Structure 1
Amino acid sequence: MSYATAAALQAAVYARLASDPVVTQQVGGAIHDAVPAGTPPGTFVVVGQGETVDRSCVTTPAAEHRLRISVISNAAGFQRAKEAAAAVSDAMLADPVPVLPRGRVVGVWFARAEAGRVRGTGARRIELTFRVLVED
């Protein structure tokens, strides 16, 4: 197993979300790799958190990236955040799988989602988790 494909995977996911017309309709260009300073208005996406575990076999090194994508919104209620999260989920699961400069994405699967409020701000946050299997 190697963590060497993690940065390339993040870049590919960012590019996929930024180029998806439904995601951009929902959040514009507000796709980040860290929560912006302060409390930004509207709805935005944060890509980059996750966990990686070894999925190598005897012949092929591989890693499962459990990628978390956050949708955060200060709109009243959860509807706006859920619409944006649905667009992100559809974009992540669309064919073809992302192409990486190193490694090969074998598949992308939805794992879970959790909706809640951001403490102290009242904003809504939906954490989407995807399993991405990458052979190196």
Structure 2
Amino acid sequence: MSYAVSAALQAAVFQQLYTDPVVSGLVGTHVYDAIPAGSVPQLYIALGSETVRDASDKTGGGALHDLTVLVVSDAAGFTKAKEVAGAVSDALVDSDLTLTRGALVWLNFLKARAARVGTGDTRRITLTFRARVDDDN
């Protein structure tokens, strides 16, 4: 097993979301690897946590990555956030991402959680995707 493909997978996921026309039509350029300091937009996407486990076999090294993407909104209700979350899912599931190291075998939706944050003025949807990557380096 190798964690070495993680940075390449993260960069490819970010690029896919940042350049997807439907996603950018909904959030503009507000797709973040790291949430900026200070005030944030009313609606944005941020890459979240990741859990990785070995998926190597006799053909080579590999890993399963459970990665999260956050959709955050301060709009009343979940409608807009869910619209963005659907676009994120459409942009990532079964996408043909090119990695700078290793190869993406598949990328699937695993689960989502929609919740109010803090006093309830902010809505956050946490989408979890599972990716299988190979690394023969």
TM above 0.5: yes
Query: What amino acid is aligned across from residue 78 of structure 1 in structure 2?
Result: F
- Distance (Å, rounded) in 2 between the aligned partners of 1:35 and 1:118: 16
Task: Give the equivalent residue in structure 1 for 2:25.
Answer: 25
2:45/2:71 contact within 8 Å kept: yes
Shift of 1:24: 0.3
Residue aligning to 2:7: 7
- For residues 72 and 5 of structure 2, the distance between their equivalents in structure 1, rounded to whole angstroms, comes to 27
Aligned length: 135
Aligned to 2:72: 72
Structure 2 length as normaliser, TM-score? Answer: 0.93
Q: 1:123: which partner in 2? A: 122
Residue 58 (structure 2) aligns with: 58
Give the Cα–Cα distance (whole angstroms) in 2 for the partners of residues 94 and 73 of structure 1.
Answer: 26
Distance 2:48 2:76 in 1: 26
Alignment partners' CA distance in 1, 2:63 and 2:73: 32
Q: Equivalent residues in 2 for 1:83-102 (5 A)? A: 83-95=83-95, 97-102=96-101
**Matching residue's letter, 1:91:** A
Unaligned runs of 5+ in 2: none
Aligned to 2:80, what secondary structure does the other structure show? helix
Measured in 2, the distance between the counterparts of 1:135 and 1:90 equals 23
Moved more, 7-16 or 31-40: 31-40
Give unmatched runs, 5+ long, in structure 1.
none
- Counterpart secondary structure, 1:90: helix
- Is the Cα contact below 8 Å between 1:116 and 1:124 reproduced in 2? yes
Instruction: Give the CA deviation at 1:120.
Output: 4.2
SS across alignment from 2:69 = strand
2:103 maps to what in 1? Answer: 104
How many Å separate the matches in 1 of 2:122 and 2:86?
18
Which SS does the other structure have where 2:128 is aligned? strand
SS at match of 1:99: coil
1:50-81 deviations in Å (ceiling 9; x for gaps)? 11111111231101110100000011110010
- 1:36 deviates by 2.8
- The one-letter amino acid paired with 1:36 is P
